Amino acid sequence: MSRKLIIAANWKMNKGPSETGDFLKTFLAKIAPLTSNCEVVVAPPFVSLPIASELLANSNVELAAQNVSQFDSGAYTGEVNVVMLKELYVRHVILGHSERRSIYGETDAVINGKIKKAREANLRPIFCIGETLEEREAGKLEEVLRRQVRGGLDGVSEKDLLDCVLAYEPVWAIGTGVTASPEQAQEAHAFVRSLLAELYGKTVSEKIRIQYGGSVKAGNAAELMGQPDIDGALVGGASLEPQSFLDLIQNGVAG
Ligand code: 13P
């Protein structure tokens, strides 16, 4: 089964509109040759989506948001809904990121609501899962991944799952410079795929792309993305400079 790589930049709370514009002008001048073998996605903060949307129109780079509300509209101070994102031609939305889970208390049920709401509007979730160091050391890796996958995808149809990407991001590898070894990452990815097979059947599970996230950089991209069940990357720090993100994509595609 060949799955096209998908590499996404998660800028987190970095780059307002002017920095976003500067980054994309440099990046777009060089990215085209790399996009035939790889889907490339950029997720700026909400306020930078309009300028990014304008600059990415007619390019091969797709736009993502970093979050969305599980509600429609109304009295939800500080929130943004799916219709607002669609108006800006946003295609993907990152959901369930460990920072949303740990800092903002998002539960599996909340994330499930967001995934369903995103699919109602035909947004494509990048659904993040991953264990903490404490959970891994306590031998709970599989239990945690099972709970997150089952909880996040509860009631999500096969058709909707096919428009999702999963991202395995071990919390201990995020922003720490510590990457899971290719073997550790492959093992977790194969397990996540087996969970998808339990829920949706083997054929569907083999179509779903699973990104790895956590200290991915140009230097380790090839080895990680060379693993059979690793279908791309969700990148924080190394996506903040155009050249470092371009090098990472180039090496990932070669991997
Ligand atoms: P880093 O690449 O900075 O470790 O961040 C990973 C991440 O959380 C992407 O969503």
Residues 113-141 pLDDT 10s: 999 999 999 999 999 999 999 999 999 99
Residues forming the active site = 97, 169
| 12-170+188-211: CATH architecture | Alpha-Beta Barrel (3.20)
Answer whether 130 contacts ligand 1 (Cβ < 6 A). Answer: no
Q: What is the pLDDT of residue 179?
A: 86
* Total number of residues shown for the chain: 255
Cα 41 → chain centroid: 9
Is the pLDDT assigned to residue 153 strictly greater than 90? yes
Q: Can you read off the two tokens belonging to residue 68? A: 């969305």
Output the six-digit token pair for 37. Answer: 């073998």
Question: For residue 2, what pLDDT band results from cuts at 50, 70 and 90?
Answer: confident
Q: Cβ(10) to ligand 1 under 6 A?
A: yes
- For residue 75, the CA-to-ligand 1 centroid distance in Å is 32
> How sure is the predictor about 25, in pLDDT bands with cuts at 50, 70 and 90?
very high
Q: Over 90: is that where the pLDDT of 29 sits?
A: yes
- What the block records as the tokens of 149 is 């996958």
Q: pTM for this one?
A: 0.98
- Out of 211, 234, 241, 249, mutate this one to test ligand 1's pocket (max ligand atoms within 8 Å of CB): namely 234
Mutate to test the pocket of ligand 1, among 7, 12, 93, 129 (most ligand atoms within 8 A of CB): 12
pLDDT band at 1 (very low <50, low <70, confident <90, very high): low
